[in-house]
Chain A
Amino acid sequence: MSLPKLEELSQSVWQGPSLSTGAIPTKEWMDTPVTFKPGGYAYPAKKEKLEYLDSQPGLNFPFARIWSPEEDDWLLPDNWKDIILKGLAERLDKFRSLKIFMDCCVRCGACADKCHFFLGTGDPRNMPVMRAELLRSVYRGEFTLAGKILGRLAGGRKMTVGVLKEWFMYAYQCTECRRCSIFCPYGIDTAEITIILRELLYSVGIGINWVIEPVSNSTKTGNHMGLQPLPFRDNIAFLAEDVENLTGVKLDVSFNRKGAEILFVTPSADAFAEPGIYTCMGYLLLFNALGLDYTWSTYASEGGNFGLFTNNEAMKALNGKMYAEAERLGVKYILGGECGHMWRVVHQYMDTMNGKTPANMEVPVSPITGTVFNNAASTKVVHITEFTADLIKHNKLNFDTSRNSHVRATWHDSCNPARAMGIIEEPRYVLDHVVDKWWEMPENTIREQTFCCGSGTGLNTDEIMELRMRSGLPRANAVKHVVDQHAVNTLACICAIDRATLTSLVDYWTPGVTVCGLTELVANALVQKGENRVDMPEGLRTMV
């Protein structure tokens, strides 16, 4: 799809019609059906990917087929409605949170203008209260006495194909970022509603390929990219060689090494694509400088878990791979790289989902500082940013900030580490030490209130680029503010989806800004023993 010019899109964001219908709605929302046009939806999940996943033990991805959102007939199974209603009933029973979220909204509207999708599309159904209402109306109409008797008068409706299509549209115009939830007086977590919508849709074979192919690849080869063990190893070795050529320090890198103290797991994009590869070079340099007893794994070669964007079983299976590998290698704990949603899964779900960690794992202790990470006592996974902040706090790293003199940075709080996990002060503390000065974006766009990149939860695919530019506008707008005020040229973050998607976003809305990971900036500034550096005007990005 061709992307509109910046001026056209900016105008359209505040004056144009809703994306879902191509017109300003004239009827009530229940009477306004959705229409799918090219560019308005992500490509459906490929049949063979769903079939492969469905064949795996413990996974359930039924009704694989070739279908198109643009066709009237989505080729649903005959009993699709029973499946959806039964699925919803099961989830209302299983997840008390869902039942509460369905019952307790008072329509106060506090969430309405907090969603980046609503701000970027102007579509009323993108108000979080409305997104939840898409499901809540069915809950009322099919599950509550008032709704069964009074129907629309009680805000209820029956489950129909039209409702299902509406779910598909708006479950994929939400990045599960949870910004709305911090403004909700009841703490209704719209992300969990979107999660349920997506799960229910998968139960009748409806999903998107940009999510399902990474899930399939992770199941088959260990990572989203589909990197098999040898190219995974070779890519990292290649990046290590680049670091050696730049710094003159020989790196010690190991793979699948039994008896290592620490298993390091990061998004596979860091081992494949720009700009993540510079973050990866940063990890390699940092760990080597520390003499860390760590290993990479070609089996657990993915931090990301797109299972979170499909269903509970897939999320659990993919998360389990890291721990299976931690057990096989006999490591004490896992050090996790700069990934976003990996931390949502680990921090919020795995305790009850995957249960106890393998017996060989221990409460993480930094081998350099002796700090005990009691916050990770149950999951045994330490975030690289807290690990690095602790090293700095104990004066274990020697920095020359002039090595980052090409960088005028601002900080993007990646939604999941910031809002879901509370990694808010640590990256700021690290930044304070590795660059001379950096600038915050406006108050209501950072920390817990951070704006999403607009393309998370597997929406980082090119066919919906206009939608992504719209939903990313609030974030881009805040970046532009610090670009204009302080000539910022670098947007730093701790998420691989961010690194990829913010690059497209700022190229569109505020060109000339570079996106990077935090560890890239750490490694740029790090003074190592025995180094013999070439001139590195662009830090680790300098080509040799």
Chain B
Amino acid sequence: MKRAISAAIAASILAVAANAEAVAPSDVAYDEYGAVAASLSGQPGNAEEGATAFGSKSIGNCVSCHAVTALADVPFPGNVGPSLDGVADRWTEAEIRGIVANAKKTYDGTIMPAFYQVDGFTRPGKAYTGKAIAVEEIEPLLSAQQIEDLVAFLVTLKEE
């Protein structure tokens, strides 16, 4: 009895902690198809910020590979990845979160970079300087909140 209660308390403390701060990149819980159920930052995302991150070269730079009709004012979208129009009809929010955080969990061997990962790289460099970076200094390409903002933007992309 006592044990069960303290376990319950422990669980609720964990839940609070998860709500309050971001999950570290190496602690993200991907399911076997690569989806991530819970918000990485513990907060809801902001779709407008997400749209900006998507098109901005210095943030997500997703447009280097993906077109989105809703962002027609962002010039020169790439086509290495599919157009993301209607992406929310194809994937759930949890699946989209998983793809943005680490697309390799959904698509084996994809060219799409993992935006919330800090280890396992070959010859990682300090941003675009061509110089080496110490492994413990590697930051994910996007913050937990930036990923939530992107997810919030992408779930608005419905065609039906």
A binds B: no
Binding site for A on B (CB under 8 A): none
Binding site for B on A (CB under 8 A): none
